[in-house]
Structure 1
Amino acid sequence: MLTYQDVSSLFSRTTGIKDENIRFHTVSSLAGDKQPKGLFVPVSTDSGHLQEAISNGAVAAVWPEDEQVPAYAPNHFPIFYTKDNLKGLEKIMNSYYDHLSQHEDINERTKFIFLNKELLNEADETYDIAVMAENINGFGNNQNKAGEE
């Protein structure tokens, strides 16, 4: 399962509580979907608002560093800042996939929920993390900190 520590290691700037025991059950680009113990990553204008994501279970978010975090976000709410949310999401997926491939006996896995069906394998519409990571790599292959240049 994806943890706070996994995600924070990918981003150089964070705010909110720094709790290495947080485990993300979901990663979602959809504010309106149920995302228990979720990490919200808005990748487009269709993603929805942070407040909706929080009310649907998000416990942290990836946020564009050049955008103001809404005032209603709790002070303790973890925010991971990036220049590009899509590249940040790519880094999270690649890191998670690498972790899974090293530990094949993992019983608990993080569920990824996406808005953009183009991130899925068109032939077999699948939510397989390996396929999604491979497809999202087409959006950029930057090896710096998540979404940073």
Structure 2
Amino acid sequence: MCVEKTPWELVIDFHGHTCPDIALGYRVAQLAQREMGIRPAPDSECLVKAYTQSCALDAVQVLNKATIGRRALIIEETQHHIYQFHFTGTQEIHQFTVSSDVLDHLKALQHPDLSPRERQNKVLEGVQYVLTLEESAFCQYDKIPGELRKL
């Protein structure tokens, strides 16, 4: 019997562990799917530009099929959790900016002197926080005229 995995399970399998950054990427990737809708044409490709290189990008690669290997994922390191999504053949960029309050909350959960069990509990607390936070508090969404291009 074959049991289909959930999108979350697919992301965790690909990434190798659960962490708040993978939850950030999962949430952004799902929001992008919702806002972008279906592909405008069969040959249209999803391109993504990220302004940070973090675990979040693994979720984008799995859910949005924008992989580094196909040059559909462009990284410009500025250490800001800003993600832009674009279907080729369109003139619209969907931008998601994760709230600085969210990032500050996650940073506050990190303590170097915690035991392994306490650290794991903080990780799970961060994941739950990201996945259950009200969307308006999680990120800002903007549609921007323009397009992304492969490098």
Question: TM-score, normalised to structure 1's length?
Answer: 0.26
Mark the structure with the bigger radius of gyration.
Answer: 2
Question: TM-score, normalised to structure 2's length?
Answer: 0.26
